[in-house]
Amino acid sequence: MKNVVLIGFMGTGKTSIGRLLAARLGCAFHDLDRKIEEQHGMSIPAMFAQHGEPYFRAREKEAVHAAASRSNAVIATGGGTVKDPENTAALRKNGILVALTADVDTILQRTAAHGTRPVLDSADGGDRRAAVVKLLEERRRLYEDADITVDTSGRSPLEVTERILQEIRIWRK
């Protein structure tokens, strides 16, 4: 089975939905951000603070190539993973790209509940709403390039998981 690769902005539910989806499909779940943190012994916010974004993006690229070589897995990417065309190409080679989307208010609510977000906290003078709007616009076309798109706004992780399963069945035909 091809991998199911969840892409999308932070706060769209990639990790929580990825776990459910992997359980429903009976396959492994691979969270790129968690793997990077485990491999390098520090949180992503700490990595950004100590080494900067370019360092993190290089570690992310390594993790993408390792994950892309797997099969029969659900892979949750970081929100900015798709900024690098090589990452997207590697993930697409053996995977179905599923973009999870959400409206700005939903993203703000979900990201506030999960603490520090270096990309949001450092952008636009710390104005998270402005940062989300700006970054969503910058990445919109990258997310639109997915094979399947599912809006998670106002939906439970279980509802989204069921929707993805339906869309995968249709896509595979």
Binding residue positions for substrate: 33, 57, 79, 139
Q: Could you tell me which residues are beta bridge partners of residue 47?
A: none
Which pair of structure tokens corresponds to residue 83?
């900024």
The conformation of residue 83, written as its DSSP 8-state character, comes to: G
For the chain, counts of helices (H) and of strands (E): 9, 5
Residue 137 Cα to chain centre, angstroms: 16
Q: Lay out the sheet containing 3-8: strands in order across.
A: 28-31, 73-76, 3-8, 95-101, 148-151
Q: What are phi and psi of 60, to 5 degrees?
A: -65, -45
Return binding residues. 11-16, 33, 57, 79, 117, 139, 155
Return binding residues for ATP. 11-16, 117, 155
